[in-house]
Structures are given as structure tokens and as C-alpha cells.
Structure 1
Amino acid sequence: MDMNWIAIGDISDIPLRGARCVKTPGGKIAVFRTTDNEVFAIEDHCPHKGGPLSQGIVHGSSVTCPLHNWVISLETGKALGADEGTVRTIPVRNDGGTLFIAMPSMLMAAE
């Protein structure tokens, strides 16, 4: 599948242990920045009840959903602990502080 890299802003736009939401043709994407300046992108809805993960609490490389405290791995998109479910992870890269997410070419053609 062909991917288009789309610039979404600067890493400084996202606070440490924070997130920003990006609207795309494929839905909302939550982009997270960890304490270690790692950046992750996942779908912005919890697999449990659809809570906005971008409004959750970031700890390590995980986020806790603000609705029912499910913990989601930012690396894999999988629910941790006894909970089950997965959200899609989105490729993200940091090029000199500018952040890019990869979107399938077919979604970009829909714009």
C-alpha cells in the first residue's frame, strides 16, 4: 500500500506527556509525545467505549482512556492488562522537529 507522508506540525506543538488530535479523511488521529520525546500516533478512540484517547493521561509509552481507565499501548495500540481490544497505530516520523504521519494514498485521493 502506497503511503503519503503528511506534515502535521512541530513537536513543540505537543506538550511532554500530552497529545494533539489531527482530523484526517480516515478519521481522527491522536498524536502523543512522551517524556522521552518519543512520538506515537494511534486512532483517537478507545476500543472499549470509544473514549477520546487524545484526552487521556500519557505515562511511559501508554495512555489511559479518560472514560473508563483502560490503558492502551502507544507502541502497539493494544489494550494492556486484563482488557482486550486494539486501535490502529499510524506511522509517524520526526524530521528535525517537524512531525509527519503516513496516510494511505487511497484515503488522500478521497479528499
Structure 2
Amino acid sequence: MNWVSIGSLSDIPRRGARCVDTPEGKVAVFRTADDQVYAIDDHCPHKGGPLSQGIVHGTAVTCPLHNWVISLETGKALGADEGAVRTIPVRVEGERLFIALEALASRAA
């Protein structure tokens, strides 16, 4: 896999996110309260809201536009809502964070 460095764990506040621009679009990288890291497309499957600006709770994020809840583990909408976003593999090496750009390209095709 083509792992690309996107910064360090300390760049992302606990229960927060940052947005990374990639050739395949914006990726939201999330850090949970217990330092798990997840990456998903930065657009809600409902109306395209910026998930990176949502509220992180557990292993989910709530979209800031219409309160859809998206699983950071699966990318799927939770509850009665339907839809999903791509999940992108993340690797943590010490403090450094990496995402797999090949996964983005293969899923975009």
C-alpha cells in the first residue's frame, strides 16, 4: 500500500478532526477520546455536510448540518438513516499518522 504521512496524532485534538486534501477529494481524519484514529470521506451521505466539523462521540461523528450520525468504523449512517461514506485505512506509528491513498483511488474507480 502507498502510505502517505498526514501529520502527527497531536495535530488532532481528542474528539476532534482535521481535513486532508487528497487527489481523490477531502478526507476527514478523526481522533476519539481514547486516541483511536479513523479516516472517512469528508462529506455526509445525506446532503454533503462537512463531517470534519461534526461532533465526535465514541466511534461516531454527528454531521453539523442535519445531525446524521456516521460510524467512523464502517462509514455507514446509524439509526434510521441510510447511506455511507468511504473509509480509508489509517496507520499510526508512534506519533505519526498515515493514510492509504491507494485505497482511495481503488474505491473511486
TM-score, normalization: structure 2? 0.94
Among 89, 92, 95, the residue aligned to 2:93: 95
Structure 1 outlier segments of 4+, above 6 Å? none
The alignment's C-alpha RMSD in Å is: 1.3
Shift of 1:104: 1.2
> Which structure has the greater CA radius of gyration?
1
Query: What residue in structure 1 maps to residue 28 of structure 2?
Result: 30
CA distance in 1, matches of 2:4, 2:21: 12
Question: Which letter does structure 2 place at the counterpart of 1:18?
Answer: G
Question: Which letter does structure 1 place at the counterpart of 2:40?
Answer: I
Shift of 1:106: 9.0
Shift of 1:103: 0.6
User: Which runs of 5 or more residues in structure 2 are unaligned?
Assistant: none
* Identical-residue share of aligned pairs (%): 76
3-state SS of paired residue (2:38): strand
CA distance in 2, matches of 1:64, 1:90: 18
CA distance in 2, matches of 1:20, 1:101: 13
CA distance in 1, matches of 2:34, 2:23: 30
CA distance in 1, matches of 2:7, 2:71: 23
Query: What residue in structure 2 maps to residue 76 of structure 1?
Result: 74
Shift of 1:94: 0.5
| Residues 105/76 of structure 1: CA separation in 2 closer, same or farther (3 Å cut) | closer
Query: What residue in structure 1 maps to residue 41 of structure 2?
Result: 43
CA distance in 2, matches of 1:55, 1:11: 18
Does the CA contact (< 8 Å) of 2:56 and 2:62 recur in 1? yes
3-state SS of paired residue (1:104): helix
